Amino acid sequence: MSVGIEAINVYAGRTCLDVKRLFEARGLDVKRFANLMMAQKSVNLPCEDPVSNAVNAAKPIISQLTDEQRGQIELLVVGTESGLDFAKPISTYIHDYLGLSRRCRSFETKHACYGGTAALQCALNFVSASVINGVKALVIASDAASVPDRMTYWEPSQGAGAVAMLISDSPALFEVDEGASGYYSHEVMDTLRPRSDMEIGDSDLSLLSYLECLEQCFSMYEERVSSVDILDTFDYLVFHTPFAGMVKGAHRKLLRKHKQLSSEQIEQDFEKRMLDSLVYCTRIGNVYSAALYLALCSLIDHNYFEAPKRVGLFSYGSGCSSEFYSGVIPDNAQEKLAQFEIRKKLDERYSLTMEEYEILSDMSTDRMSGVQEKVFDTSAYQNIYDSLFVGQDLLVLDQINNFHRKYKWA
């Protein structure tokens, strides 16, 4: 049975910040700006959190379904590293605001940026193993950055948003290759969120761990799948993207190990097979558990598929867990994805000044875990809220009463 992604959509917030402007304001070394390959980063308002991001990504997909099709969703899994409670998963809120059937499994997965892939693999196995015809699963990878790590090189890449994926036996967007997967895990303290208001890590250690995992995952994939060639097997490669420059370096290292290519040939291969997957990532920043699937959307939206194309995907989560797997993008995938107008919505985002960005950043702790009471007053950013949220059928966080979050449609 063919299983994979039937529909996919991105929500990347409604505001953004020019990354070069941030570099200049922070006094960061502009020589490192080009290595990041970043242009913009999405920024959530204080009344947005991983729940609202997830719902706003999934709602356009759910709205297209008939009541019968919506009832076929028997599993909701949310991958996130931005959980709001040690016990209650954010999937409960999302399930409610999407109006899904109560005859549905619901839970949250956590493994840093690998959480979205963990959720997806669970859903794929659920659908393929089900004896019920037409059963579906909804997977959402959703995160919201904590307080910006000011004056560091982490801050320019901290993005916000979610990617929602409908999983079924009608994979109109991406059909997964059954059994074609390699994975690798080990304990490492490379990046972490020890508190809700803190993201810390060792960037060099994280890069080394990422590269080690890529090589080991692909090695296992080669053992599982016969006659694999890194150049010939895959029409495209899509990697987890904390920032685009990291992906470019990983691609270079992988090809140097497996192929005797010149620097010019490696650059040509990168531009041919990877560059399209990074367009959205350079405009949004690191969306953590959703980053790999944002890159997949970028590839589909920025390429022309005259025939089915095989893609190799690499997922990495700090701490760490990783996986290399593959699948096929059908020839009509771009048309299917275009209806959600991801590019148009990115173009419509409000470009923040540094002063506005600092205000929103200072208020971001209000939406994080552990807040017991809070009413979300939008007056500090009323012009942005009125022009980009009011009347747009977007979910926002309204108040927190004794830790219970209440949302509303703007």
What is the H or E stretch that residue 373 is in?
strand 373-375
320, two tokens: 């760490």
Alpha helices in 9-129 (DSSP H): 19-26, 33-36, 50-63, 67-71, 91-97, 115-129
Set 95, 111, 240, 251: catalytic member: 240
Counted residue by residue, the chain has a size of: 410
User: Among the options 113, 213, 217, 297, which is catalytic?
Assistant: 113
Q: Is 104 a catalytic residue?
A: no
Gap between the Cα atoms of 43 and 360, Å rounded:
8
356 has catalytic annotation = no
* Residue 285 CB partners (closer than 8 Å, separation 6+): 19, 38, 40, 41, 42, 156, 157, 158, 159, 160, 243
Q: Which of 141, 132, 55 is nearest to 100 (CA)?
A: 55
- List, in sequence order, every residue forming a beta bridge with 285; answer none if it has no partner: none
Please indicate whether residue 111 is annotated as part of the active site: no
Catalytic residue (one of 6, 48, 74, 81)? 81
DSSP 8-state symbol, 366: G
Please tell me the distance from the alpha carbon of residue 376 to that of residue 101, in angstroms, as a whole number.
29
Tokens coding 393: 């059928």
Q: What is the largest CA-CA distance in the chain?
A: 61
From the number of C-beta atoms within 10 Å of its C-beta (0-12, 13-18, 19+), residue 187 rates as: exposed
Phi-psi category of 302—alpha, beta or left, where left has phi over 0 and alpha has psi -120 to 50?
alpha
* Residue labelled with tokens 């290399």: 324
Q: How far is CA 186 from the centre of its chain?
A: 22
Beta strand 15-18 pairing with 350-351: parallel
SS3 content of the chain, % helix, strand, coil (to 5): 40, 25, 30
Strands 15-18, 40-43: pairing kind: antiparallel
Q: Are strands 198-201 and 174-185 parallel, antiparallel or unpaired?
A: unpaired
Query: Residues with catalytic annotation?
Result: 81, 113, 240
